[in-house]
Structure 1
Amino acid sequence: MGQTTTDHAWSEFWAQQGPHGSTGCLPARWQSVFATLERTWRTFASRLPQGASVLDLATGDARVLHWIGTTRPDTVLTGIDLAPQLPQPPPGVDLRPATAMEDLPFPDASFDAIVSQFGVEYGDTPQVAQEIARVASDDAAVGMVIHRGDGAILSHNLARAEQIRWVVDEMGLMAKTKAALNDEQPPWPDATAMVAAIVEQGRAKHGDRSAAWEIPEAVRRSLLMGAQAGDTVAGLAALLDRIEAQARNELARIASLEAACATADARDSFFGAFAAAGLAVSETDELSDAAGRVFAEMIALRRA
């Protein structure tokens, strides 16, 4: 399976993340979201049989396996992800990068539990469901935390996408900055002042610490530091290209998030794919943050 633009965006994302403490698609200030997720998976882990073998689909930074493993040190933990580059996994986790959910490299009935957090809905649901059913033991527990289109995660990320498009496309920050750099000599005071003005426009239009503030502020600081370090215009232009590439990678990730929400929200076809594979929904539970905002849903499945 070749790597799409979205796959590349997620590979870049995970390559830049630290260990399992990274915050994924939410700002670090949303700590209650992570607390709810951790509590959910620790409860799931507490119900597993002794020595259970656990497979995590689209594991990312393997934080779910970290929570399961620290709750139940007797479990045997394996994680797969399509991204070819992933952060260092927690101790005791067998991590398999560049591995598709639709084509799992494991024998039939290999696992006592199969889990996924914001993963299954990114794949080809019928194929993923068939693979889950194939590698699950007869009495395996299947637990999935899935996105919701009406959830706080998507709304936060759609707002962020709007902010990124404003600064990168509507304001044309990178092109304007490159042109301004070419029009004057270091330390480029006019170019820096122009970028600083966009920083303030972004703050006024979208708020302090928004992407509309964050991206031009990164450019402004780059110009100041570049002047102090004696950087060339060519060097700064290359840095601006990298900043823009990161912004467009984030837009690709948000687009894939929106598509994943749509997949999960089409409940008849989504759950129907699992029913066709012989897996029935046994329990559902809405997940909310401390402010009461629903952000996801925990789905438990068992063989029908």
Structure 2
Amino acid sequence: MSSNSLSRAAWTEFWSTQISDDGQLGCLQGSSDNLTKQLGQFWKDWAKALPRGGRLLDLATGNGFVIKQILSVRRDLKATGVDYSDRLPPAPRNAKLRCGIAMENLPFPSARFDAVTSQFGLEYGLMDEALAEVARVLRPGGRLATIVHLPDGPLVKHNAERAKSLAWTMDEERLLERATAAAAIGEIGTVARLIETVGNAALRQFGDGSAAAELCQAVARCLPLLNQPNSAFSRAVLVIERQAKFESNRIAALLGAANKVVSAEAMEELFSMHNFERVERVLIEAVPGHGAYAAMISAKRPM
């Protein structure tokens, strides 16, 4: 990720809670298995044309999902992933991950790599500067492929709805603040009634499975702590509040990144402006007929 979305500390905190190698999509955790397999297949197919023994660089690598997919079919490649976060999950086998690196200032010599990739990463940075760096580190004839959010896609709409329901629970209903205040003066019954009232309203307004409903359920699970000493309930609610605020900030970064894309056509033009050729795009639908949630833009450097 880049300094132009969430702060380095925020991304470090996020990846510090995702230290696993489970094949999930990192920032898209909770996505369907179909989505995971679909994106993985895109990368596997794209990698087939790369030169044998070539060097691969993955930007905003996160948990190394892209590298893992590519190396599963091209073990001969030498893969490196970089990310703005100061901490990342373990690197995929036979790959290197480097932390604390902004995509707008890559610490590699010119013409170092045969291919550069990014999945939901390029749009989080300053795209002009990042593409200039990609053009610099790619060798003549090198290939670039990036999967980007589309601002009108279902994935962005889903996250916008989550942000709306989180804001309703945190700011409008002030659930966590009111529950903590009531607990502090021993009004256990008030806390329980508050959670029930806000929870029912969340179900009516946003539905089961919404961020608002999830937040109410999380606080409800803390109710047994009201009978424990040393403000155990309040401490648990503070943890929930911290997680909810980070979720809100993460979604805000996603929405901001998606808005930079404007359209798949605009991304094609941006690639061409940086002297990439044979620019192609593929729209990606999780469910046929339900709208594209992302676009894969691929291109080559001139020889």
TM-score, length-scaled by structure 1: 0.90
Residue 12 of structure 2 is matched in structure 1 by: 11
Please state whether the residue corresponding to 2:72 is helix, strand or coil.
helix
* Residue pair 1:148, 1:264 contacting (<8 A) in 2 also: yes
Per the alignment, do residues 164 and 158 of structure 1 end up closer, same or farther by CA in structure 2, a change over 3 Å counting? same
Distance in 1 separating the partners of 2:140 and 2:53:
16
Distance in 1 separating the partners of 2:263 and 2:287:
27
Identity %: 32
Distance in 2 separating the partners of 1:65 and 1:285:
20
Deviation digits for residues 87-146 of structure 1 (CA, Å, limit 9, x no counterpart):
122111200111000111111111111000011111111111111011101111111101
Per the alignment, do residues 199 and 281 of structure 1 end up closer, same or farther by CA in structure 2, a change over 3 Å counting? farther
Measure how far apart 1:4 and its partner are: 7.0
Residue 203 of structure 2 is matched in structure 1 by: 203
Measure how far apart 1:31 and its partner are: 2.4
Residue 287 of structure 1 is matched in structure 2 by: 284
Please state whether the residue corresponding to 2:144 is helix, strand or coil.
strand
* Residue pair 1:199, 1:216 contacting (<8 A) in 2 also: yes
Deviation digits for residues 151-173 of structure 1 (CA, Å, limit 9, x no counterpart):
11101100100110011111101
Residue 240 of structure 1 is matched in structure 2 by: 237
* Residue pair 2:268, 2:281 contacting (<8 A) in 1 also: no
Matched residue type, 2:234: A
Distance in 2 separating the partners of 1:198 and 1:28:
25
Deviation digits for residues 237-278 of structure 1 (CA, Å, limit 9, x no counterpart):
232222112111111111111111121116676545433432
Measure how far apart 1:281 and its partner are: 4.8
* Residue pair 2:268, 2:297 contacting (<8 A) in 1 also: no
Distance in 2 separating the partners of 1:4 and 1:263:
12
Residue 212 of structure 1 is matched in structure 2 by: 212
Please state whether the residue corresponding to 1:200 is helix, strand or coil.
helix
Deviation digits for residues 59-106 of structure 1 (CA, Å, limit 9, x no counterpart):
011100000011111111100000112112211120011100011111
Q: Structure 2: where are the runs of 5+ without partners?
A: none
Range with greater deviation from structure 2 (33-42 or 286-295): 286-295
Please state whether the residue corresponding to 1:6 is helix, strand or coil.
coil
Please state whether the residue corresponding to 1:109 is helix, strand or coil.
coil
Measure how far apart 1:20 and its partner are: 4.7
Measure how far apart 1:290 and its partner are: 2.9
Q: 1:178-189 to 2 correspondence within 5 Å? A: 178-184=180-186, 188-189=188-189
Q: Structure 1: where are the runs of 5+ without partners?
A: none
Per the alignment, do residues 9 and 153 of structure 1 end up closer, same or farther by CA in structure 2, a change over 3 Å counting? farther
Per the alignment, do residues 267 and 289 of structure 1 end up closer, same or farther by CA in structure 2, a change over 3 Å counting? closer
* Residue pair 1:281, 1:301 contacting (<8 A) in 2 also: yes
Residue 96 of structure 2 is matched in structure 1 by: 94
* Residue pair 2:277, 2:300 contacting (<8 A) in 1 also: yes
Measure how far apart 1:223 and its partner are: 2.2
Matched residue type, 1:59: T
- Aligned Cα root-mean-square deviation (Å): 2.1
Aligned mate of 2:154, from 152, 172, 176? 152
Matched residue type, 1:301: A
Count residues in correspondence: 298
Matched residue type, 2:56: V
Please state whether the residue corresponding to 1:143 is helix, strand or coil.
strand
Distance in 2 separating the partners of 1:291 and 1:244:
37
Distance in 2 separating the partners of 1:53 and 1:223:
53
Please state whether the residue corresponding to 1:71 is helix, strand or coil.
coil
